Amino acid sequence: MSYRPSFSSYVNKDKEGRDYYYLRLDDFSFGQNITNLLNNIRDEVAKTEFFVLDLRYNSGGLETKADTLLMAFLETDTLMTYPSVTRKNHAYYNAMGYGYPEYKDYYNDMAMDTLPANVFVKKDLPLFRQPLFILTSKHTYSAAEDFIFPLRLHNPGRAVLVGTPTGGSTGVPLVRRLPHHHSVYRICTRKALLPERMIDNGIEPDYYYEMNIQDHLEGNDRIFDIVGEIYNEIYR
């Protein structure tokens, strides 16, 4: 069974007849207007009991788009992300590092700079207070993981993660084209400063679920039944 980048947005019912809003985003692309999207679905979401955000095939994109989406689920006017570190490159210091110990880190490409956490201000966004379920998988990468980090760091009770661990790839990749070929390679340029083991093997879900082979063959995605069961466990 193959999956292609997709966008889906609609109201659905679970087994017990409860309305929930389903939003699938497979990237946070340059052309998206997240604010318009959220305001367009505001009235439909208001009539539902919970929200299912499907990031299982989200390969990333612009972190600012992910943060805009996240702010619609938080009862706050600001959003703080997380600090990170990146290598510093300075040609003169690199050269000096050959003979001067104080520049050795530059010579060995080990000089580091700390990037502070970003703070975003909410503007023109609706507020969705419904219980939030986020679906994740090994295909959840980069900006999709950036969406989850602030939740885990600053709002740990706001969302429930269901699925399998994420890909563990966030890092603002530098993209370069390969010569004489149409392919590209990517190198992460920063390391998120997060609690120990938070992303060693990807972000761990709160509830593990993975489709088995038979379900794949039959196109039977039972994760929505699982979400309904979790809703009953937590909210009833």
Residue 184: phi and psi, rounded to 5, are: -130, 160
Please report, for residues 46, 123, 140, 198, 203, the alpha-carbon distance to residue 34 in angstroms, rounded to integers and kept in the order given. 18, 12, 19, 27, 24
Residue 37, pLDDT above cutoff 50: yes
Round to whole Å and give the CA distance between 14 and 27. 26
pLDDT in tens, 164-223: 999 887 777 788 899 888 898 888 888 888 887 777 788 999 999 998 888 888 888 899
> Which of 30-44, 70-84, 139-153, 195-209 bottoms out in mean pLDDT, i.e. has the lowest?
195-209
CATH code that applies to domain 7-81+121-235: 3.90.226.10
Q: Is the pLDDT of residue 91 over 70?
A: yes
Average of pLDDT values for 15-42? Answer: 93
The residues spanned by each domain of the chain are 7-81+121-235, 83-116
How many CB atoms lie under 10 A from the CB of residue 235? 11
pLDDT of 31 higher than 80: no
Q: Which two tokens stand for residue 173?
A: 């990749």
List alpha helices for 9-96, DSSP H: 34-46, 63-71, 91-96
Say what percent of the chain tops pLDDT 70. Answer: 98
